[in-house]
Amino acid sequence: MHVLITGGAGFIGSTLGMVLLERGDRVTVIDDLNDYYDVTLKESRLERLNQSAEFRFLKMDIADRAGMADLFSSDAFDAVVNLAAQAGVRYSIENPAAYVDANLVGFGNILEGCRHSGVGHLVYASSSSVYGSNTKLPFSEQDSVDHPISLYAASKKANELMAHAYSHLYQMPTTGLRFFTVYGPWGRPDMALFKFTKGILEGTPIPVFNQGQMVRDFTFVDDIVEGVRRIIDQPAKKSEEQNTASQSISAPWRIYNIGNSHRVQLMDYISALEKALGKKAVLELLPMQDGDVPATEADVTSLEADFGYRPQIRVEEGIQRFVDWYREYYQA
């Protein structure tokens, strides 16, 4: 297959690119290499991909309507995986325009490109943040997601609705994946594991929100990518039964949770990291942040039933793999 990965210099995108190249696909990556976090890390991820002759990189912003139209008209993609987005719940409070440009305008350009060029399957990143302040665990795709508590979450819910409209109008297969707290080697510096590791090694306090009373469904990146790989190969189909919150009788459109399906206390996560580093953390206990939620857990029964998805990596192993990578990459 020829697969376009948007945001392919990112954490999940570059890991997915490696897997697709290893199985023999052609991979085109676009990324604007913005400075939301260290551009050098993004370039290092691209260097890994560039070892393959079947890899191509184009520096491009998905919000560039003319550029995106040219890309889709000049090349043929069997599948598109949209992982380009302005990420981060807290940053959406400070800089909402970045989310409108990337997550709404940019996603619209991707939908248009897929429509006009006859792409066989669009797989795109949604987020567990769409569940807002829901308190029933685990989160199910059938739960209400009508009350987002951050612009980031609202933009991801909007992506799901936009995709349904295109799937309905143009019979274009789209699958949205609600990611749950992805971590692992080559991760994002703005995420907790990265910040905690850096702080512990430097002996500086690490920020622990809600006084540490947080629960997350931490999901190792290899498990996420294995799920995405399986989904790419099976385009969404119309429901044969009825409309639900995650499938449609009028459109080849599906929504899935993709997570580890195992809740972990934040303090246990920190303890596992302390063990892997061989050093205790200095904790800075802080109140809950605006837009954040106290607990997440994914119900992945639909993904398991339809794709045989079964996460393999427990948190202790995943954290050790991250620490090993971090020490090597940063010579720490």
Active site amino acids:
152
Distance (Å) of CA 323 to CA 18, 183, 195, 274, 299: 20, 11, 12, 10, 28
- Note whether 186 and 14 are within 8 A (CB): yes
331, two tokens: 């010579």
Amino acid, res. 222:
D
Q: How far apart are CA 319 and CA 7, in angstroms?
A: 24
169, two tokens: 């109008």
> Which residues neighbour 44 within 8 Å (Cβ) at sequence distance 6 or greater?
329
Question: Omega before 138 cis (within 30°)?
Answer: yes
Which DSSP state fits 204? P
275, two tokens: 């063990």
- Note whether 327 and 279 are within 8 A (CB): no
Q: How far apart are CA 239 and CA 142, in angstroms?
A: 15
Amino acid, res. 245:
A
Length of the chain: 332
Instruction: Please write down the long-range contacts of 107-112, taking CB distance under 8 Å and 24 or more positions apart.
Output: 107/62, 107/82, 107/158, 107/159, 107/162, 108/162, 109/62, 109/63, 109/64, 109/65, 109/68, 109/69, 110/6, 110/62, 110/68, 110/80, 110/82, 111/162, 111/163, 111/166, 111/172, 112/68, 112/69, 112/72
